């Protein structure tokens, strides 16, 4: 894997177009099942779930297909939302542009579940994420789940079959930019801008907003064959899933 010269900023049409064509196999195997399993029991007529930082709408579409969630899918990128609306329309999904922080059209205790998938790693602004996390806490009904899935900060530099976040051997601290290579479906790579946060930093963003400390899941694929033959994702988790409740 080789990094392109300039990582793409997320709020650009070039990033949205490239992200539309990403190879989603690892996310589909290692993130979506864990997230959906935790939310399947809560679905029902009129129940509202938020997909915050929905990008091209992959998680929102999965949510709409399990049970009967009404889904508000939110993103600060108009280009991402344009692709989501065209690729993944659904009568129970409403896509909405927002500023990445305020959920001011939603009342206190009015939402039944929230998911934020691969979003915190793309936002360099701790203060905005602290504000967003407090807003998520405010709008969730008491006891409602918040699932925060993201890159595993303990896996920087590992070459997984569809991504590598960070350079091999490099050591990153909170806030450092981390060049992230994503494989596209045609086998080419895109380099995107992500930002390192330690697990403790994620925990403090959640507890600082009033959530209890989360459970942490580090999913890997089942091993088969010799260590030399098996991909890195059988030994190391590319992603983590943090679960907490309002
Ligand atoms: C890597 S994409 C993930 C998209 C989608 N959740 C998925 O898993 O396919 C990151 C998305 O987060 C959005 N984003 C960045 N900062 C955000 C913030 N503060 N609040 C909400 N979304 C944000 C970006 O615009 C981008 O669409």
Between 40 and 1, name the one with better pLDDT: 40
Write the CB contacts of 224 (distance below 8 Å, at least 6 apart in sequence). Answer: 230, 234
| Average pLDDT of the residues in 6-27 | 88
Looking at every residue in the chain, the average pLDDT score rounds to 93
pLDDT score at 68: 86
pLDDT score at 217: 98
122 Cα–ligand 1 center, Å: 7
pLDDT score at 224: 73
User: Are 41 and 65 in contact, with CB atoms under 8 Å apart?
Assistant: no
Q: Is 113 in the pocket of ligand 1 (CB under 6 A)?
A: no
Output the furthest CA–CA distance in the chain (Å, rounded): 53
pLDDT tens-digit series, residues 191-214: 998 999 999 999 999 999 999 999
pLDDT band at residue 226, thresholds of 50, 70 and 90?
A: low
The label of the residue with tokens 């500023």 reads 99
Q: Is 54 in the pocket of ligand 1 (CB under 6 A)?
A: yes
pLDDT score at 236: 97
52 Cα–ligand 1 center, Å: 7
pTM of the prediction?
0.95
Fold assignment, 13-152+197-226+237-245: Rossmann fold (3.40.50)
Poorest-confidence range of 15-29, 101-115, 215-229? 215-229
pLDDT at 6 over 80: no
pLDDT score at 32: 95
Rounded CA-CA distance 69/113 in Å is 9
pLDDT score at 227: 63
In this prediction, what percent of the chain has a pLDDT beyond 90?
85
The label of the residue with tokens 């459970």 reads 215
Q: Is 100 in the pocket of ligand 1 (CB under 6 A)?
A: yes
pLDDT tens-digit series, residues 140-193: 999 999 999 999 999 999 999 999 999 999 999 999 999 999 999 999 999 998
| Average pLDDT of the residues in 98-126 | 97
Rounded CA-CA distance 20/83 in Å is 7
Residue 96, beta-bridge partner list: 74
Between 2 and 18, name the one with better pLDDT: 18
227 Cα–ligand 1 center, Å: 34
Poorest-confidence range of 42-46, 111-115, 147-151? 42-46
């Amino acid at each position: 894997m080789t990094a392109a010269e300039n990582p793409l900023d997320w709020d650009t049409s070039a990033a949205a177009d490239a992200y539309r064509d990403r190879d989603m196999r690892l996310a589909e195997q290692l993130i979506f099942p864990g997230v959906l399993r935790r939310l399947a029991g809560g679905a029902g007529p009129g129940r509202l779930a938020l997909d915050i930082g929905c990008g091209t709408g992959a998680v929102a579409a999965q949510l709409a297909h399990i049970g009967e969630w009404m889904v508000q899918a939110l993103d600060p990128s108009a280009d991402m939302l344009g692709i989501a609306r065209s690729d993944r329309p659904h009568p129970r999904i409403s896509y909405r542009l927002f500023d990445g922080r305020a959920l001011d059209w939603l009342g206190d205790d009015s939402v039944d579940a929230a998911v934020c998938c691969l979003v915190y790693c793309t936002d360099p602004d701790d203060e905005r994420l602290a504000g967003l996390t407090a807003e998520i806490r405010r709008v969730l009904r008491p006891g409602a789940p918040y699932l925060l899935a993201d890159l595993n900060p303990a896996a920087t530099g590992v070459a997984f079959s569809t991504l590598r976040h960070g350079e091999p051997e490099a050591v990153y601290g909170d806030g450092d930019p981390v060049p992230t290579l994503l494989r596209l479906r045609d086998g080419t790579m895109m380099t995107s801008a992500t930002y390192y946060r330690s697990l403790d930093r994620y925990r403090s963003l959640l507890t600082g907003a009033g959530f209890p400390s989360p459970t942490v899941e580090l999913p890997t694929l089942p091993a088969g064959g010799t260590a030399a033959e098996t991909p890195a994702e059988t030994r190391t988790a590319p992603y983590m899933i943090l679960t907490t409740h309002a």
